[in-house]
Amino acid sequence: MLTHTHVMMSDKKDKGDEETGVITKARPKTARPPLYKVLLLNDDYTPMEFVVHVLERFFGMSHAQAFEIMLTVHKKGVAVVGVFSFEVAETKVAQVMDFSRRHQHPLQCTMEKE
Ligand code: TYC
């Protein structure tokens, strides 16, 4: 049933935020997607040459660059090997973990939000 009250309501202007107490904030709104660091971990068994190969193959590093990062991981225990979107980081980690497993090396690769 359509009463005169309903008819009046449909004519009423929205109060917006002023009288309703709803808090809004005008904000230039184009947030960049979060980035993820991909980390390589040291271990006592994976051959240095294998790690260098991984860095060349999956992270597009030159041999010199790859050797340098491999040595950093070897000495310090961990290093960031790249910063990517969630999807790309996830893919790199999976590729490295799969490649290492297939070659029976214990090399570990992880990701964390930047
Ligand atoms: N520590 C390894 C060795 O002495 C080399 C190594 C470097 C392993 C980096 C893993 O992420 C790594 N053979």
- Cβ burial, residue 53 (10 Å; 0-12/13-18/19+): middle
Give me the pLDDT at residue 8, please: 32
Residues 107/40, Cβ–Cβ less than 8 Å: yes
Residue of 41, 44, 45, 46 best suited for mutating to test ligand 1, as the one with most atoms within 8 Å of CB: 46
Cα of 75 to ligand 1 centre, how many Å?
A: 9
Q: Ligand 1 pocket: which residues have CB below 6 Å?
A: 40-44, 46-48, 51, 70, 73-74, 107
CA distance 92 to 83: 10
In order of 3, 42, 54, 57, the CA distances from 61 in angstroms are 74, 18, 9, 8
The tokens describing 97, both together, are 């973990």
In degrees and rounded to multiples of 5, residue 85 shows phi and psi of -60, 165
Give me the pLDDT at residue 89, please: 98
Overall average pLDDT of the 7-20 stretch: 43
The proportion of the chain whose per-residue pLDDT surpasses 70, expressed as a percent, equals: 81
pLDDT tens digit sequence for 30-79: 999 999 999 999 999 999 999 999 999 999 999 999 999 999 999 999 99
Please state which of the ranges 2-11, 14-23, 41-50, 74-83 shows the lowest mean pLDDT: 2-11
Overall average pLDDT of the 21-38 stretch: 87
Cα of 74 to ligand 1 centre, how many Å?
A: 5
